[in-house]
Structure 1
Amino acid sequence: MLRNNLTILLLTTPQSYRVDPFLVAAKKLGIKVVQGINLPEALAEQWGVQLQLDFSQPETAVAHIIQFARKRPLAAIIPVDDAGAVLAAQASQVLGLRHNNVAAAEAARDKFQMRQMLADASVNSPKFKRFSLTASHSDVVQQVLAEIGFPCVAKPLHLNGSRGVMRANDAAELMAVVSRLGAMLPSDAEFLVESYLPGVEVALEGVLENGRLHPLAIFDKPDPLEGPFFEETIYVTPSRLPEDVQQQIVETAAAGAAALGLQLGSVHAELRVNEAGAWIVEVNGRSIGGLCSQTLRFDMGLSLEELILRQATGLPVSHLQREQQASGVMMIPIPHGGILRGVSGVDEARTVPGIDEVTITAPLNNRLVPLPEGESYLGFIFASGSSPDSVENALRQAHAQLVFQIDEEIPLVSIH
């Protein structure tokens, strides 16, 4: 039990899956938690939010946090998702709390800054170039041909969760991709084009203590992520890659975090591995997204959220090890757009040996938008077992039991 006079501010959004696990962890540890939620003021009053913040207005949001901290001193500020990472660093700096450098937090949120800093530090990463949607498609194609080549990957600078990330194999596909980005983003928005990295993709979860990366888990992503879009589905840990390859992954992720200047707290990195080594897709100063943290348990049965809160209160966590049992999660993909009318097979999926839980998060009678425009999943399937192979097989068998009724949207017809 930790000291119950500690208060930690969680910065989050209304859409976050992560708040409840943090609240459960805080209660277990005896830590008081306050939520700073990115909400309009009118909605915050209706919802009874303790601290309403506008993440898009950082100066005002920092002022509100400081005002709150005068009445209720804070031990730490933790961003639950990407959206609050920069604000957490800014407010922590003003309040004198342990924090990541603001520039490092900004770089982890801006894919162009990230690529620049990785390149400057000679960390394995693809060739890249930034463009504006105001540029002509032909100019984009010519510059990509001259400096990057095909295949390439285009992506928005600030969206996450693979949203807007698309592969182009030739000039015609690239022009189509840029048009699609233009429909998703503001007309003057910037985007990145990178050389496509072949190989298998993995994710690394870790924590930083004084700039030193302590890996917590490496997740295999057994489904090929080759495009045209890059929807993540299955994560399985421990990794089945050879030990020397796993060491390359850890070293490259550590180098990526150092290149950005990250020093403290959670790190979630995505990497590609091929015959030339491990390559950074991206590295972020936050923990794993969605409900995926449920796949991780540490010494004494600690959850990932408990580990994060313990570190935030100044307790050492680098000695904690992940439980040895294999585990995994499937983020249930949206097969096509439409209106979700029904879900069947959930009970059957739960009876598959090795399945721990099946959680459907998409609400009925709501519109589904798949990648690259969408940013959510139908739900999550969790499994554990004696080996990564058994976990992967259980996830696939459970998914095969699920049937989603998705009706085609009927366009509205205006009557004159």
Structure 2
Amino acid sequence: MSESRTLLLIASSANPDLLSTPRALGLRVVLANAVPPADGGLHDVHLPVDEFDEEAVLAAVRGHLAGGGRIDAVATFHEGSLHVAARVAAELGLPGNSQEAVRAMRDKYETGRRLDEAGVPTPATRVVRTRAEALAVAGELSYPLVLKPQASGASQGVTKVADEAELKAAFDNISGIYGRDSFSEDGYSVPNVARVYAYPDAEGVLVQEYVRGDEFALDFVYGGGEYRLLAIHDKPYPFAEPHFIEGAYATPSQLPEVDQKALITTAVDALRALGATVGGAHVEVRLTPSGPKIIEVNGRLGGTNAFVQESIRESTGVWGPREYLRAVLGEPVDFTGKENPTPAGFTPVLADRTGELAGFEGVAEAEALPGVVALRWMAAPGDHVVIKYPENPVSCFVLVLARGERREDVLSALESADQLLKPVYVN
């Protein structure tokens, strides 16, 4: 690959593995985001611009090109910048998902509508703006139901409701998320993640059929008409309903092959129906008694900061971000993992109360556990934690990555680390 090729990377995570991937491919990097990484060697040009502002990024890109710069491909690993990357790629005539496809994936109502029209199994979904509309839909679909923001992430606000009173409370909670900059409790405050994940002009509340069954996540890279699976992630522990905060992932899947094929087929059908043609995807599917049903389709690889891709790499030897970048560079989607994947997985470790972090205990003990590969810190001393589910689902202070000879070894390492790692509070 020629070193002269230049990648525009929008809203890159601080995850060094992601940031170093373009360099491993021999690419020059134009990085468009508000704050550059500490390691200046990971990019050639920095465009200091709000990575979530479509017009601002476009203006910066036009300025870069007018000054003699070049861009050969456009990529982002961040949910909140997918629409920005699509707009830039369209303007420059470069490979990538269309703006329409990105909207269809990020707007969960539009996802449901298009999948339903295409005959891809998915929960019945309606979008509402008022309590009265929500109650009317509940009468049509019947309880239990799931309410969620029309466009957000990290399971923010997602709530299972069993009756009218719970529906009203969940509706009020979700409809109040969009206008808030932060969440506060007892003098502590944290930013509202909806400000990053929300899609422009998609601020309704979804009322959705609740579907029973185990949930799985599938990661894909696709381009040139090929949709290639990176991995199926089992979610080995049930959600703590009525909320749906993500827990542990484990790969490879232990599902029977016939069920795995059904999940893959349904997920690819969903990607095609939504117009996804070039990029990566993280698809959430429930395996119901009547077969797979799509819960949501994310138009980017799983794990901007989480260990999703690292878990796949430990298991299969394939680094999803590299294959995604090859897809947006217009190269064939063609990769092969291990014939016998290694069991691997990760888990978030959640803080137990609101407060200011002073530090953490159990770190050396957790790092020394057999099977533990790495810890990734999501919080630092001095940070605030606000336990306020489900409107603020972010209370993970560290992620744990593990691998082992057996699934049981991986889960044991993750469970032991979860018991050892504890936040220490200022007071």
Instruction: Give me the TM-score of the superposition, normalised by structure 1.
Output: 0.88
Aligned partners of 1:327 and 1:398: how far apart in 2? 15
1:291 to 286, 292, 306: 306
Q: Give 1:231's aligned residue.
A: 245
Q: Provide the aligned length of Structure 1 versus Structure 2.
A: 393
1:196 to 206, 210, 227: 210
Give the CA deviation at 1:375.
Answer: 4.9
Aligned partners of 2:169 and 2:234: how far apart in 1? 31
Amino acid at match of 1:12: A
1:121 to 118, 121, 145: 118
Amino acid at match of 1:154: L
Tell me the SS of whatever aligns to 2:176.
helix
Give the CA deviation at 1:283.
Answer: 0.8
Aligned partners of 1:407 and 1:171: how far apart in 2? 41
1:219 to 226, 233, 241: 233
Q: Do residues 109 (structure 1) and 106 (structure 2) align?
A: yes
Aligned partners of 1:128 and 1:22: how far apart in 2? 34
Q: Give 2:194's aligned residue.
A: none
Q: Give 1:414's aligned residue.
A: none
Q: Give 2:192's aligned residue.
A: none
Give the CA deviation at 1:144.
Answer: 2.9
Give the CA deviation at 1:313.
Answer: 2.6
Please give the per-residue CA displacement for 1:210-266, whole angstroms capped at 9, x wherever unaligned: 243111100001110252211111011000111111111101110111111000111
Tell me the SS of whatever aligns to 1:267.
strand
Contact 2:150 2:204 in 1 (8 A): yes
Tell me the SS of whatever aligns to 1:404.
strand
Amino acid at match of 1:389: E
Aligned partners of 1:347 and 1:172: how far apart in 2? 47
Aligned partners of 1:143 and 1:164: how far apart in 2? 20
Aligned partners of 1:394 and 1:325: how far apart in 2? 15
Q: Do residues 387 (structure 1) and 406 (structure 2) align?
A: yes
Report 1:37-52 matches (<5 A).
37-38=33-34, 50-52=46-48
Aligned partners of 1:168 and 1:208: how far apart in 2? 36
Q: Give 1:177's aligned residue.
A: 170
Q: Do residues 351 (structure 1) and 351 (structure 2) align?
A: no
Q: Which 10-residue stretch deviates more, 186-195 or 20-29?
A: 186-195
Give the CA deviation at 1:382.
Answer: 0.4
Q: Give 1:43's aligned residue.
A: none
Contact 2:218 2:284 in 1 (8 A): yes
Q: Give 1:331's aligned residue.
A: 348
Tell me the SS of whatever aligns to 1:184.
coil
Please give the per-residue CA displacement for 1:315-334, whole angstroms capped at 9, x wherever unaligned: 33323325721111112223
Report 1:231-270 matches (<5 A).
231-270=245-284
Aligned partners of 1:62 and 1:333: how far apart in 2? 38
Give the CA deviation at 1:186.
Answer: 3.0
Q: Give 1:312's aligned residue.
A: 328
Q: Do residues 22 (structure 1) and 12 (structure 2) align?
A: no
Give the CA deviation at 1:358.
Answer: 2.0
Aligned partners of 1:335 and 1:249: how far apart in 2? 35
Give the CA deviation at 1:72.
Answer: 1.8
Contact 1:202 1:220 in 2 (8 A): yes
Cα separation, partners in 2 of 1:121 and 1:407, compared to 1, 3 Å:
farther
Tell me the SS of whatever aligns to 1:216.
strand
Aligned partners of 2:54 and 2:102: how far apart in 1? 13
Q: Give 1:154's aligned residue.
A: 147
Q: Give 1:279's aligned residue.
A: 293
Give the CA deviation at 1:308.
Answer: 2.2
Give the CA deviation at 1:66.
Answer: 2.8
Aligned partners of 2:177 and 2:270: how far apart in 1? 29
Q: Give 1:373's aligned residue.
A: 391
Please give the per-residue CA displacement for 1:104-125, whole angstroms capped at 9, x wherever unaligned: 0111111111111111111111
Tell me the SS of whatever aligns to 2:370.
coil
Contact 1:66 1:95 in 2 (8 A): no
Report 1:200-211 matches (<5 A).
200-211=214-225
Any unmatched runs of 5+ in structure 1?
41-47, 409-416
Give the CA deviation at 1:300.
Answer: 10
Any unmatched runs of 5+ in structure 2?
37-43, 181-200
Contact 1:266 1:286 in 2 (8 A): yes
Amino acid at match of 1:93: A
Give the CA deviation at 1:406.
Answer: 4.1
Please give the per-residue CA displacement for 1:178-205, whole angstroms capped at 9, x wherever unaligned: 2222332239941111011211111001
- Percent sequence identity over matched residues? 30
Q: Give 1:3's aligned residue.
A: 2
Please give the per-residue CA displacement for 1:301-353, whole angstroms capped at 9, x wherever unaligned: 55322222233333333233257211111122233332222310011111221
Amino acid at match of 1:367: H
Give the CA deviation at 1:153.
Answer: 0.9
Please give the per-residue CA displacement for 1:16-46, whole angstroms capped at 9, x wherever unaligned: 344x222222222221112111579xxxxxx
Give the CA deviation at 1:64.
Answer: 2.4
Tell me the SS of whatever aligns to 1:378.
strand
